[in-house]
Amino acid sequence: MKQNIYDNPIFFKNYTSLRETGVTYNDFIEQPAIKSLISSLKDKTVLDLGCGTGQFANYCVEKGAAKVLAVDISKNMIDKAMKENNHEKIEYHCSPIEDFQFNHQTFDLIISSLAIHYIEDYDSLITKISQLLKDGGEFIFSTEHPIVTARKDMNNWVRDEGGNKLHWAVDHYQEEGIRKEYWYIDGVIKYHRTISTLLNTLIEKGLVLEKVVEPTSIAIGLEKMPKVINEERKPSFLVIKAKKQEVKF
């Protein structure tokens, strides 16, 4: 059974309340980085893996995408998406992203925002993504940075007696696999993978690495959420863009 924390009522309530503030790491760090990597959305066919409440799917349509297929494991999320970000060009599906069945569809752009660290079998997912991309198509995804997921005890800021952040703690880096943490509810499971695994798997599956971003906050974030300055001290996210090789004749 795949983990589906977003259908836990306590988690869902807290998570959606947080996102609705518009004052989050997503708003100031991760989403700007993802968006900065997209070449163009005009007339593109997009697949959004882990679409949540459909905000990004809606953004794609606003920017001229021809069609967005948006998939999420959580019924809560998909229900909310269909209410708040309904559009004739967006097709929502409730399914674990690993299990979704595609009917010979291919895509110009595949996006996945902070979902891949919940996926156990990265290798199979990237194989599938590579097959789903058109030649020259782009895959852009964000994930928690391996510096963040490495240590098994994920309370990673080491503080002095006054609570000041002394440094960030890394450990168990090469030991890939399950990391459990408390995030609104107990036992949220993420998967740690090394930077080399994240990158080499893309290359092995026929993708060409185009850019790697370890984003810091945009300017407005530093005003509205001063603690994002700590992103200078260690990155929270890794954002990667890769391209399916174009076949040349």
Contact positions vs a copy of itself (CB under 8 A)? 147, 150-151, 158, 166-175, 194-196, 199-200, 203, 208-214, 216, 231-235, 248
- Integer Cα distance of 241 and 219 in angstroms: 23
Phi, psi dihedral angles at 41 (to 5 degrees) = -110, -10
The sign one gets for the Cα dihedral 192, 164, 29, 50 is positive
Minimum CB distance to a copy of itself smaller for 167 or for 227: 167
Residue placing its CB nearer to a copy of itself in the complex, 158 or 220: 158
Query: In the complex with a copy of itself, which residue's Cβ is closer, 120 or 175?
Result: 175
Q: Which is nearer to a copy of itself, 13 or 233 (CB)?
A: 233
- Tokens (6 digits) for 114: 């902070």
Q: Which is nearer to a copy of itself, 98 or 214 (CB)?
A: 214
Q: Is the dihedral of CA 106, 90, 238, 171 positive or negative?
A: negative
- 185 vs 212 by CB, closer to a copy of itself: 212
**Residue 190 · residue 144 · CB < 8 Å:** yes
CB of 213 to a copy of itself, least distance (A): 6
Q: Which residues contact 129 (CB under 8 A, 6 or more apart)?
A: 49, 110, 139, 205
Q: What Cα–Cα distance (Å) separates residue 201 from each residue in 65, 128, 143, 179, 242? A: 28, 12, 15, 20, 11
- Closest contact distance (angstroms) between CB of 153 and a copy of itself is 9
Three-class SS of 218-245? CHHHHHHCHHHHHHHCCCCEEEEEEEEC
> Residue 164 CB, nearest distance to a copy of itself (Å)?
12
Closest separation in Å from C-beta 139 to a copy of itself? 15
**Shortest Å distance, C-beta 52 to a copy of itself:** 25
| Minimum distance, C-beta of residue 148 to a copy of itself, in the bound complex (Å) | 10
Q: State the minimum distance, in angstroms, from the CB of residue 111 to a copy of itself.
A: 19
What the block records as the tokens of 126 is 């990237």
Q: How many Å apart are CA 113 and CA 135, to the nearest integer?
A: 22
Between residues 119 and 240, which has the closer beta carbon with respect to a copy of itself?
240
